[in-house]
Amino acid sequence: MTTLRIVPVDGDAMLLDWQYVHNTIIPTAVLSLAEVSERSRRNRLAVACLGPVLVGCSTVRPPAPGTEVATVIARILPRHRRRGFGSLLYAQGLAEARGLGARVIETCVLESNPEGLRFALAHGFTETERYVLPGDSVPFIDLRLA
């Protein structure tokens, strides 16, 4: 049985993989390659693969200076959900955030992703805010780990 590999994004090919997963799951906030590249300089981005097959991606936004709040986002492509990959990806991101000094963990889910919201709630997150970005119609849901 092939195990899930979670690898930090390094290079354009991996940026493209991360971008593909993000844009598939967050179609209301599509990112260009330049935007993904910029994010990779301030956040910890990773991709998850099962052998050669792309399964998902993650983002860890480190705590800002003087804070202890980090954001951990795990995204799994729909055809790979409900197999435990999200839990593995989330656990890796949570460990990374804690290693960066985070004591408070937040996440964000697009309202049109009910599986992602169920996942966050099942992993101990509670909703803190809903908002719509300018020009969008689907709300984002911010959650905090209880």
Over the stretch 96-113, which tens digit does the pLDDT of each residue have? 999 999 999 999 999 999
21-43: pLDDT as tens digits = 999 999 988 999 999 999 999 99
pLDDT score, position 10: 94
Place of tokens 């195990």: 3
pLDDT at 98: 96
Per-residue pLDDT for 1 more than 60?
Answer: no
**Rounded Cα distance, 136 and 67, in Å:** 30
Residue 124 belongs to domain spanning: 4-145
What pLDDT does residue 29 have?
87
Please choose, from the candidates 141, 121, 120, 117, the residue with its C-alpha nearest in 3D space to the C-alpha of residue 131: 141
Q: What is the share, in percent, of the chain residues with pLDDT greater than 70? A: 99
What total of structural domains would you count in the chain?
A: 1
pLDDT, residue 80, reads: 95
Q: Among positive and negative, which fits the CA dihedral 51, 24, 8, 66? A: negative
How does the average pLDDT of the chain come out, rounded? 94
CATH number at residue 84: 3.40.630.30
Mean pLDDT across 52-70: 96
Query: Where does the pLDDT of residue 135 fall: very low under 50, low under 70, confident under 90, or very high at 90 and above?
Result: confident
**What pLDDT is recorded for position 70?**
97
CA distances from 70 to 38, 81, 118 (A): 18, 24, 20
Question: At how many degrees (to 10) do helices 33-42 and 12-25 cross?
Answer: 100
Token pair, residue 119, equals: 């996942």
* DSSP class per residue in 48-71: EEETTEEEEEEEEEPPPTT--EEE
